[in-house]
Amino acid sequence: MDNWEEVTPYPAISYVDFVSVDKDVTVCGEVTDADIVAKVLSNNIQAEDGASDDVEDNSSIVQKRPILSVAEVMDHIQALRRFFESSNNVEGVAHTLTTQEVVGMALQIIQGMQFLHKKHLLHRDLATRNCVVDPEFHVRITEQALARDLFPADYHCLGDNFNRPVKWLAIESLVHNTFSTVSDVWSYGVLLWELTTLAQQPYVEIDPFEMAAYLRDGYRLSQPINCPDELFAVMAYCWAMSPDDRPTFSQLQICLQDFYKQLTKYV
């Protein structure tokens, strides 16, 4: 098939799946996967006055106005991280996704991130724990607040009181607390690595306090077993030291669409 619209498993992906949780809202009781499965109407997501129209060149952190979120729990949907954990334990045998399925998920996540950036929103915590998936592999992006309760081991304080997803953050986010559209791209590269490893922990042997120095020295995640060279090249592209050298999500979309079409030729 020549058109991506014809091969994507869920072309629209609703575009309303970024969950915005007001900072004053307190979640009480035990947090479950159902708590992070929610949808927000797209016209409830608004950018701050004065935000740059050229979002790809906007390096500042764009805050959201307080908005009301409309949440609905959807049956048979779970955190993408949980999905991979359960896939690793299907009757004691790991269930491996096809490369085509992985790339299909990756493209859906790109679509969601493009929508957020067009609305002048940064995610700042893109990872499998902050996506949800249904049985047909339709993937949606969620907001990060509740994932901190579901996956506390993914967050660390580096000598302060701020919990951050250290091993998913771009080097400039770790060192200077600077976030941009291309720091989201860095995190997307780590998410791609998660997709190809069934959500293994990145940099598992590196102490969180050593991560900045480790990245500054040029070290990155290694190529997963059975990960095609083309897909790993996309990950490495996301982890360029200089933010200016990283791709935009539009560029990533083109790369992965081309790769997806190559894969469909052999199905």
Rg (CA), the chain: 18
CA-nearest of 120, 143, 146, 136 to 60 is: 120
The dotted CATH code for 75-264 is: 1.10.510.10
Give the pLDDT band of residue 30 (cuts 50, 70, 90): very low
d(CA 60, CA 77): 33
Question: Of 2, 49, 53, 125, which residue is the catalytic one?
Answer: 125
* Res. 49: pLDDT tops 70: no
The answer to whether the beta carbons of residues 146 and 127 sit under 8 Å apart is: no
Condensed to tens digits (0 to 9), the pLDDT of residues 78-127 reads 788 888 777 665 454 445 689 999 999 999 999 999 999 999 999 999 99
Cα–Cα distance measured from residue 122 to residue 178, given in angstroms and rounded to the nearest whole number? 11
Residue 79: both structure tokens together? 């955190």
Confidence of residue 43 (pLDDT cuts 50, 70, 90): very low
- Model confidence at 184: pLDDT above 60: yes
Higher pLDDT, 97 or 254: 254
Instruction: Return the residue matching tokens 């190809």.
Output: 196
Residue with tokens 């997501």: 45
Cα separation, 189 vs 56, in Å, equals 17
Q: Is 125 an annotated catalytic residue?
A: yes
What is the chain's mean pLDDT, rounded?
A: 75
Residue ranges of domains in the chain: 75-264
